[in-house]
C-alpha cells in the first residue's frame, strides 16, 4: 500500500516541477484570466497551496478553522513570491505529517458543513482529499499550459519514483 506521506512527497515533487515550468513563461500568461476554476494559472496554483495549508491546519488543531485566503494580486506578484509560499506550506505540512502516528489516521475529524449537516471522515480520508485536490488542479494547470503552447513538466508517479530512487 502507498503511504499517505509518500503521496504528499509526490505532490511536492510535481508542484516544484510545475513552478519551474511556469517560471519560464511570461508573467502575463500566468495571470491571464483563462475562465478556469480560479481564473489564472497563478491563482489555481496558489489555491492548491491554500487548500493544503487550510486542511492540514484544521486537522492539526482538530477544528474547522477559517480558510486563509490571500489577495493573489497583492501577495503573489512574481514567481519568487509563489515559491516562497510553496516552501512555507510544504514545511508546515511536513511538520504535521511527521508528527502523525499510525493510529492518528483512523481518528475521526468532524465539521459542520455549509448546509449545516455534520461531516465526519477519518483523518487519512481528509489527507487523501488534499492529495486528490492537488492532482485535480495540477491537471487543470497542465491543460492551460497546453492551450498557450507551453510544455508542462512530465510528472508520472513511476518517473518520480525512478528519479527519487536515483538520488537516494
The per-residue pLDDT for range 24-71, each reduced to its tens digit, is 999 999 999 999 999 999 999 999 999 999 999 999 988 877 677 899
Of 153, 40, 22, nearest to 80 by C-alpha is 22
Classified by CATH at the fold level, domain 4-167 comes out as: 1.20.120
Measure CA of the first residue to CA of the last residue in the chain; give whole Å: 21
pLDDT given for residue 168 in this prediction: 61
Q: Is the pLDDT of residue 122 over 90?
A: yes
| Residue 75 CA from chain centroid, whole number | 18
Cα dihedral 39→49→162→104 (10° resolution): -140
Q: What is the mean pLDDT of residues 130-151?
A: 97
Cell numbers 514567481 correspond to: 79
| Axis crossing angle, helix 123-147 with helix 41-61, rounded to the nearest 10 | 170
Q: Is the pLDDT of residue 8 over 90?
A: yes
Amino acid at each position: 500500500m502507498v503511504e499517505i506521506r509518500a503521496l504528499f512527497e509526490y505532490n511536492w515533487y510535481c508542484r516544484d516541477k510545475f513552478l519551474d515550468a511556469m517560471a519560464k513563461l511570461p508573467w502575463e500568461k500566468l495571470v491571464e484570466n483563462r475562465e478556469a476554476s480560479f481564473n489564472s494559472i497563478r491563482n489555481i496554483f496558489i489555491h492548491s497551496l491554500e487548500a493544503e495549508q487550510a486542511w492540514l491546519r484544521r486537522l492539526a488543531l482538530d477544528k474547522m478553522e477559517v480558510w486563509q485566503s490571500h489577495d493573489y494580486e497583492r501577495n503573489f506578484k512574481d514567481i519568487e513570491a509563489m515559491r516562497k509560499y510553496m516552501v512555507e506550506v510544504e514545511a508546515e505540512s511536513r511538520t504535521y505529517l511527521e508528527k502523525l502516528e499510525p493510529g492518528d489516521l483512523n481518528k475521526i475529524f468532524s465539521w459542520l458543513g455549509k448546509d449545516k449537516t455534520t461531516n465526519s471522515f477519518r483523518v487519512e480520508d481528509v489527507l487523501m482529499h488534499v492529495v486528490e485536490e492537488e492532482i485535480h488542479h495540477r491537471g487543470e494547470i497542465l491543460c492551460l499550459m497546453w492551450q498557450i503552447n507551453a510544455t508542462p513538466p512530465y510528472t508520472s508517479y513511476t518517473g518520480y519514483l525512478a528519479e527519487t530512487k536515483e538520488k537516494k
